[in-house]
Amino acid sequence: MTMSVTLYFVGTAGSGKTRLTNTFQLWMQSQGLKSIIVNLDPGAERLPYAPEVDIRDWIDIKGVMSDYDLGPNGAQIICADMLALKVDEVKSAIEEYETDYVLVDTPGQIELFAYRKSSGVVVDTLGENAAMAFLFDPVLSKTPMGLTSLSMLCGSIQFRFSVPFINALSKIDLLRPEELERILSWSEDSDKLYDALISQPSGMRKEMNIESFRVLEDMGLYRALTPISSETNFGMEDLYNILQQTFMGGEDLDAD
Ligand SMILES: Nc1nc2c(ncn2[C@@H]2O[C@H](COP(=O)(O)OP(=O)(O)OP(=O)(O)O)[C@@H](O)[C@H]2O)c(=O)[nH]1
Ligand SMILES: [Mg+2]
């Protein structure tokens, strides 16, 4: 068996991680590709998929809330830190499956996964062939300032994980065609985003955005976005092809 690829879906709260995890698995199934889903969100209440491996089997957020007398946000932080203690169990549970792809849904609030020490332990432990798909929320990406800020957030997460990143624009069915075209053109051509930033009214925030933009460009964190939609299935094949190019030099896996 080829060594499996682990794809983490990350992004701001509500950016579409959970639904994309489900949609991408269904698309893979339709192509005869083997994948499993790992839910790493202990706070997930309803999931559209039945995960093969589920962190809720080891971490009980309601129990943490009552044991530590915490509200949901405080409990989420404790749960995020507990991830590292359970990672060997999660790994063993994954290894029970013979699969080519491990799709990982991550907690709602991105800072819990991206900035806590335990997630580094998780990514290091769960497998060598790992990548992250960072979902750009379409509403936040509509303005030059919003797109620059999200790109900075994405860039700061890339510092923490030395794995390949796929920057995806999610829920594109919610954008008007001209909005989609504009966001993609900003992401593909840095001069266009720069022009849009400098045409904003002047002020402190404009200066900061231009500086942020330059940092992104200088550090190679400025990237074209891959448009996707879990509503229409748009972009699933592109996502797959990017993974293939990243790990297999573009060759297709044996689909059986
Ligand atoms: N129209 C449309 N809605 C979507 C799409 N993807 C997700 N949604 C909706 O957006 C909302 C949030 O989606 P989720 O998949 O739960 O997002 P998430 O990032 O997992 O959210 P949290 O885990 O709560 O942070 C849900 O109502 C989804 O049905 C999409 O491609 N198109
Ligand atoms: Mg979710």
- State the closest ligand 1 atom to the C-alpha of 44, by its place in the atom list counted from 1: 23
Give, for ligand 1, the residue of 10, 18, 137 to mutate: max count of ligand atoms closer than 8 Å to Cβ: 18
Under the banding of pLDDT at 50, 70 and 90, the label for residue 209 is confident
Q: What DSSP line would sit under the chain, residue for residue?
A: -PPPEEEEEEESTTSSHHHHHHHHHHHHHHTT--EEEEE--TT----SS--SEEGGGT--HHHHHHHHT--HHHHHHHHHHHHHHHHHHHHHHHHTS--SEEEEE--SSHHHHHSSHHHHHHHHHH-SSEEEEEEEPTTGGGSHHHHHHHHHHHHHHHHH--S-EEEEE--GGGS-HHHHHHHHHHHH-HHHHHHHHHTSPPSHHHHHHHHHHHHHHHTT-----EE--TTT-TTHHHHHHHHHHHHHTTPPPP--
With a Cβ cut-off of 6 Å, ligand 1 is lined by 11, 13-19, 41, 108, 170-171, 173-174, 229-231
Give the pLDDT confidence score for residue 252 in this predicted structure.
Answer: 56
- State the closest ligand 1 atom to the C-alpha of 106, by its place in the atom list counted from 1: 23
Which residue's alpha carbon is nearest to atom 29 within ligand 1? 19
Asked if the model's pLDDT at residue 200 lies above 90, the reply is no
Give the pLDDT confidence score for residue 157 in this predicted structure.
Answer: 92
pLDDT tens digits, one per residue of 85-120: 999 999 999 999 999 999 999 998 888 888 888 999
pLDDT tens digits, one per residue of 3-40: 899 999 999 999 999 999 999 999 999 999 999 999 99
Domain positions in the chain are 5-136+160-172+225-248
At the fourth CATH level, the homologous superfamily of domain 5-136+160-172+225-248 is P-loop containing nucleotide triphosphate hydrolases (3.40.50.300)
Higher-pLDDT residue of 72, 241:
241
Global pTM reads: 0.93
pLDDT tens digits, one per residue of 118-171: 999 999 999 889 999 999 999 999 999 899 989 999 998 998 898 999 999 999
Q: How many CA atoms lie within 13 A of 191 on its CB side?
A: 0
Tell how far the Cα of 205 is from the centroid of ligand 2, in angstroms. 31
According to the per-residue pLDDT averaged within each range, which of 49-53, 104-108, 144-148, 195-199 is highest?
Answer: 49-53
Question: How far, in Å, CA of 115 to CA of 135, rounded?
Answer: 17
Neighbours of ion ligand 2 (CB under 5 A): 17-18
Q: What is the mean pLDDT of residues 175-197?
A: 94
